[in-house]
Structure 1
Amino acid sequence: MEGTLTGKEASDAIGRLGWRFLLGTLRASVPVMSLASATEVAARAVAACGDAADQHLLIDVRPRRVVLTLQSSDLGAVTTDDVDLAHRISAAVHEIGLSTEPEIDTGAPRSVQVLEIAIDALDIAAIRPFWRAVFGYADEAGADGPEDPLVDPVGQGPAIWFQQMELARARRNRIHFDICVPHDEAVRRIEAALAAGGRLLSAARAPAFWVLADREGNEACVTTWQGRAG
């Protein structure tokens, strides 16, 4: 029977395959040398999933890599079925001499990540409909409350979530980016940002969130699944 997994359960179940748990999804990047090779990877992934593909698998096909995403679309979460599908896809990819292992140590700029836009608001319920309409977004599966995130229904754009403010702020940006990265890549990403002129504003909620800023104070958060409830 399909069961929802916690972040730790999901990460432990697929980490050795090269897949990573990011914001309620399992993701893997497969480096390829051509679009033809990328489409073969995609076809093998779909075949490995069988009838479950339409409900669990998303694929981003590019000439140099294929990004595979698994999640139960009905539940908006990672399940035991997704873990099984990850194993099946990895095996299918390995059959043609490719791998779901990240290759960031061999020159690739990064493996997988998820980008979100965070908007600070005094009245989230009042502004959320505007952002839903102007982006053409929709409610996430099972999350249609006034403070729940908004997502791109075709899966192209970053999710938008809203952070409650208690008082208006005039000297701090009220829209920032959250970059969710694999838990074992976070420190490297932060070090690169600091070396590029950034500042670490807070690590109080690490390893869930590190708050960084550029030289002018514009903020971004590097996040992982670790340190979060569930």
Structure 2
Amino acid sequence: MTQVSSQQVLDAGLNDWRQLAQGLHARFLTGNFSAGLRFVEAVAEAAEAANHHPDVTLTYPYVDLQLISHDVSAVTKRDVDLARAISDIAREQQIEAKPEALAQLELALDTAQLAAAGRFWAALLTGDADAVKGDDVADPNGRVPLLWFQHTEAHETPRQRFHIDLWVPHDVAEQRIQAAVAAGGTVVDAEQAPSFVVLADGEGNRVCVCTVLDR
């Protein structure tokens, strides 16, 4: 399957869904466990018919879903098509989506020696030293956030080597940034906005607020 671009995802009009760092995401407010289970069962039928399956988290008040084509590690047309079908199911069951509640957390480690760091972090985080794919340590069981290695020149410590990448819906990013600034943060670098904006807390610890726009 061919990867679809972030702009193609936006043009698809998937109002219930937002593209974050890894795939398409949605939260549906089912209200209770029984309603959530009925919703998930209907989603499972649609997934089986499409021969394409989302990652599903069923909790008491809501259901979270993620769609990505794992064979190409990207969003494809089949993800877009299944997302649309799932939204149709939600409307039939009178279940509301809440895309503004979505977020995805990644950890980034500046390193000039991936070979020295990658297997260590893979073994520590996932129990498998071989769980390094390209520049990422990915936990196939979804227990810990994705860790990716940002290539840098060798440098002396102290310098912040870890930072957080917080992926939020593109239409939520500015609100989230302003809330963080109002809570005592500062904008360090907005040159790459809306792709990402670098913030710092009162002690100088940095975080990137990321969206899929302009990538």
Normalized against structure 1, the TM-score is what?
0.86
Distance 1:215 1:100 in 2: 35
1:121 aligns with one of 93, 107, 111: 111
Work out whether residues 30 and 67 of structure 1, in 8 Å CA contact, stay in contact via their aligned partners in 2: yes
Work out whether residues 30 and 96 of structure 2, in 8 Å CA contact, stay in contact via their aligned partners in 1: no
1:196 and 2:183 equivalent?
Answer: yes
1:185 corresponding residue in structure 2? 172
Q: CA deviation at 1:124?
A: 1.6
Distance 1:21 1:144 in 2: 21
1:107 corresponding residue in structure 2? none
1:93 corresponding residue in structure 2? 90
Q: How does 1:15-164 map to 2 (within 5 A)?
A: 15=14, 17-52=15-50, 55-102=52-99, 110-136=100-126, 144-145=133-134, 148-164=135-151
Distance 1:127 1:210 in 2: 26
Q: CA deviation at 1:58?
A: 0.3
Unaligned runs of 5+ in 1: 103-109
Pair 1:128–1:52, CA change in 2 (3 A): farther
Which amino acid is 1:217 matched to?
G
1:78-112 deviations in whole A, cap 9, x for unaligned?
Answer: 1111111011111111111113353xxxxxxx421
Unaligned runs of 5+ in 2: none
Work out whether residues 172 and 218 of structure 1, in 8 Å CA contact, stay in contact via their aligned partners in 2: no
Q: CA deviation at 1:13?
A: 1.2
Q: CA deviation at 1:137?
A: 6.4
Pair 1:101–1:218, CA change in 2 (3 A): closer
> What percentage of residue pairs aligned between the two structures are identical?
37
1:7-35 deviations in whole A, cap 9, x for unaligned?
Answer: 111222143x3211112411111012112
Paired residue secondary structure (2:157): coil
- RMSD across aligned positions (CA): 1.9
Aligned residues: 214
2:2 corresponding residue in structure 1? 3
Normalized against structure 2, the TM-score is what?
0.92
Q: CA deviation at 1:153?
A: 0.7
Poorly superposed stretches of 4+, deviation over 2 Å: 99-102, 137-140, 169-172
Work out whether residues 137 and 150 of structure 1, in 8 Å CA contact, stay in contact via their aligned partners in 2: no
